[in-house]
Amino acid sequence: MNIEERINYLRKIISYHSKRYYENDAPEISDFEYDKLFEELKTLESDNPQYFSENSPTQRVGGKALDKFEEVKLTVKMNSLTDVFDFDSLRAFIRKVKKEVGKDTEFSVEPKIDGLSVSLQYENGALKIGATRGNGTVGENVTANVRTIRTIPLELNEGVNITVRGEVYMPHKSFNKLNLEKEQKGENLWANPRNAAAGSLRCLDSKETAKRGLDIFVFNYQEGELDSATHKETIEKIQALGFKTIPLLYVGSDEDSIVNAVVELGKVREKLDYDIDGTVIKVNSLEKRKEMGEGTSTPKWAVAYKFPPEQKRTKLLDIAIQVGRTGVLTPNAVLEPVRLAGTTVSRATLHNIDIIKEKDIRIGDTVIVQKAGDIIPEVVGSVKEARDGSEAPYSMPDRCPSCGGELEYDDADDFLDDDEDFTLGALRCTNPSCPAQLERNLAHFASKKAMNMEGVGEKLVKALLDAGLIHDASDLYYITKEEIQGLERMGEKSADNFIKSVEDSKNVGLGRVIYALGIRHIGEVASSALADKFGSIDALFEATVDEITEVEDFGEIMAKSVVDFFAKASTREIIEKLRKAGVSMANEIKEKSNEFEGLTFVLTGTLENMTRDEAAEMIKARGGKVSSSVSSKTDYVLAGESAGSKLTKAQALGIKIIDKEAFLKMCE
């Protein structure tokens, strides 16, 4: 056997054993033997560069870091799915399909993996391009990163031309390991495996992606040289080519069996080593799929049944009070830790004292918790039959737990927009120097939607306060590199990043500056409206209540709050310090178009390669209005991936729904 033959042999045998280890969990050789084969291959490739192959197992470690991802046009559009949330809707879908394309129509049922969708394109059996879903038509080229995922074959068992679609995800064991490492470094933890998977796949440094332990399930044949009549056949054939494929839970036409397969998956989802957020039900026949066709952004031949929020019982150990940036006291449940929807939950919101009384929640109760929208933990209620008499009713404190200051309830006639943590009748600390309020005010000031100081979160703000480096928001602009570098875990690179982030924030725009100031009752949308109306901070200092109420959706309460805020001497002092630091506090004069004048948009879901803030700015720049809720006055709903109840309501009201591609065409 010559050197080239030995290299090719090692590549094949290593790929075989890698598949046995990572996919089948049935290794045939020891780690030591595997490592010896791997090291031999690395040495031979290094000594004989003429035999280099980008599809060698040695290339899974990642390569040179990128400056950015290139765009790639997808050869087959990657649509999202229509969601159904109950079995009546699922049965209605099944019956509608059977009525349209035949009573004998078969369906496949498979888990809906909670990850990031990718397209994998192969030429002559070799991996050519890996791309994210993007807007469904144009994605990002993440080929270097998908090569590091060991369950993605670099070369297929046959030399075919084929494109498949899969879901990249992070197994629980990889997620837990990653968060443990971040915790040990004092870094912010990933919220859930899906976010971790998306962030890992989009690392510009593929060597970093290689460390993250990502995995994939291939769930659809897009195009190529496979000759199949059904979805089930394509899954079997692509599995034979070397792909790790989605498990088909059921294939058949019986309506009750389809529903039962969904129910059974829901029972075992907690035991899986990966997160699922539902079940996908597809027409099995590829010919019937073509007959049914595609909608604007979703296929007509498939739906995703979304599981209701997972609920668990646990013990309510205590009720702790959190003081918000506006002084509102919010009770939070301290729970016996419980795993819920993919993460361990030890705290949950109780909203306010009225809800605690209404649900009769007591310290020591066994309570039912769930994640609202699979994100925010909340207490649903108490299990009264589990009480033993030791449970204690709860009452709100008489003084602020942060500063000891006086508390008062807000007037029940007060009003607030959706962006602030104010609640009607909320209990509020009246001390403007309350440390808890200051800490959260500063974190809010630096947050993404405000001044967008990347990396300046609650932990760093607390460290800066403890070190005496800041006393109000404007002080952030006067911290030197030497001062920030003196903090624990802040090296030279971190200090440089901080200085750059603060410098970049000086030109975020007037609307963000107003929002960052944390004016009571004034959220993100209202701040933008004030910026558009008055054009500068100086004009707001002179504005009257009557002038401010002329702004759309502004009432007297909001207007008075703005006037009172700018009448304070402390506000003038902070503004002057910000001005001296070089923060821009006047709108640039821009020529606006008016093609969206009179139109109201609602944004929902995740837009690939575009934030909802960016889409909102594009709408407002063209004279349109962005609303946070769907109503009969809504003209368009711009829906991205994982759109929720807003999309459902829009469908019920018959409101026009558009995807990102259609939206961009409207903006041309």
Q: Quick: pLDDT tens for 40-60.
A: 887 888 888 888 877 787 776
Average pLDDT, integer, range 416-441: 66
Give CA–CA dist 43/442, Å, rounded. Answer: 54
Lowest-confidence pick of 119-133, 212-226, 605-619: 605-619
CA pseudo-torsion sign 400, 405, 409, 410: negative
Average pLDDT, integer, range 224-236: 93
Average pLDDT score, the chain: 86
| pLDDT, tens digit (0-9, with 9 covering 90-100), for 467-483 | 889 988 999 999 999 99
pLDDT of residue 488: 80
Neighbours of 268 (CB within 10 A): 10
Lowest-confidence pick of 45-54, 111-120, 367-376, 384-393: 367-376
Residue 549 parent element (H or E):
none
Provide the pLDDT confidence category of residue 305 given band limits of 50, 70 and 90: very high
Whether 425 shows a pLDDT value over 70: the answer reads no
Q: Which residue has the higher pLDDT, 628 or 127?
A: 127
DSSP 23: T
Give CA–CA dist 387/66, Å, rounded. Answer: 58
Q: Which residue has the higher pLDDT, 652 or 166?
A: 166
CATH superfamily of 600-667: BRCT domain (3.40.50.10190)
Greatest mean pLDDT among 74-78, 225-229, 252-256, 554-558 lies in 252-256
Whether 597 shows a pLDDT value over 90: the answer reads no
Provide the pLDDT confidence category of residue 344 given band limits of 50, 70 and 90: confident
CATH number of 435-581: 1.10.150.20
CA pseudo-torsion sign 144, 148, 153, 159: positive
Burial profile 176-204: b = 16 or more Cβ within 10 angstroms, e = fewer: eebbeeeeeeeeeebebbbebbbbbbebe
Q: Does domain 82-306 have CATH number 3.30.470.30?
A: yes
pLDDT of residue 353: 85
pLDDT of residue 414: 41
Confirm if 173 and 273 have CB atoms less than 8 A apart.
yes
pLDDT of residue 365: 95
Phi, psi of 18 (to 5 degrees): -65, -45
* The residue type at 343: T
Domain limits, CATH 2.40.50.140, in the chain: 311-399
Lowest-confidence pick of 48-52, 157-161, 248-252: 48-52
Domain limits, CATH 3.40.50.10190, in the chain: 600-667
pLDDT of residue 415: 37
Provide the pLDDT confidence category of residue 510 given band limits of 50, 70 and 90: very high
- Is 0.95 surpassed by the pTM of this model? no
Phi, psi of 617 (to 5 degrees): -65, -40
Give CA–CA dist 177/192, Å, rounded. Answer: 13
Q: Which residue has the higher pLDDT, 134 or 542?
A: 542
pLDDT of residue 372: 62
Domain limits, CATH 3.30.470.30, in the chain: 82-306
Confirm if 193 and 175 have CB atoms less than 8 A apart.
yes
Give CA–CA dist 592/589, Å, rounded. Answer: 9
* The residue type at 181: E
| pLDDT, tens digit (0-9, with 9 covering 90-100), for 70-84 | 888 888 888 888 888
Whether 465 shows a pLDDT value over 80: the answer reads yes
pLDDT of residue 284: 96
pLDDT of residue 435: 84
Whether 418 shows a pLDDT value over 50: the answer reads no
CA pseudo-torsion sign 604, 606, 609, 613: positive
Which one is the CATH code of 3-61: 1.10.287.610, 3.30.70.240, 3.40.630.30, 3.90.1150.10? Answer: 1.10.287.610
Average pLDDT, integer, range 188-214: 85
Neighbours of 264 (CB within 10 A): 14
Give CA–CA dist 666/662, Å, rounded. Answer: 6
Q: Could you tell me which of 611, 648, 614, 649 has the C-alpha nearest to residue 633?
A: 649
Provide the pLDDT confidence category of residue 298 given band limits of 50, 70 and 90: confident
Average pLDDT, integer, range 108-129: 94
Q: Where are the alpha helices (DSSP H) in 252-326?
A: 255-268, 286-292
Greatest mean pLDDT among 157-171, 446-460, 512-526 lies in 157-171
Q: Which residue has the higher pLDDT, 425 or 319?
A: 319
Whether 420 shows a pLDDT value over 50: the answer reads no
Q: What is the three-class DSSP state of 264?
A: helix
CB neighbours of 256 closer than 8 A, spacing ≥ 6? none
Average pLDDT, integer, range 8-16: 82
Whether 419 shows a pLDDT value over 50: the answer reads no
pLDDT of residue 85: 85
Domain limits, CATH 1.10.287.610, in the chain: 3-61
**DSSP E strands: which ranges in 114-157?**
116-123, 126-132, 138-140
pLDDT of residue 61: 61
Whether 195 shows a pLDDT value over 70: the answer reads yes
The CATH class of 311-399 is mainly beta
Active site residue 481: no
Alpha-carbon distances, residue 356 vs 374, 375, 399, 521, 535 (angstroms): 22, 21, 19, 25, 44
Residue among 112, 282, 312, 646 flagged as catalytic: 112
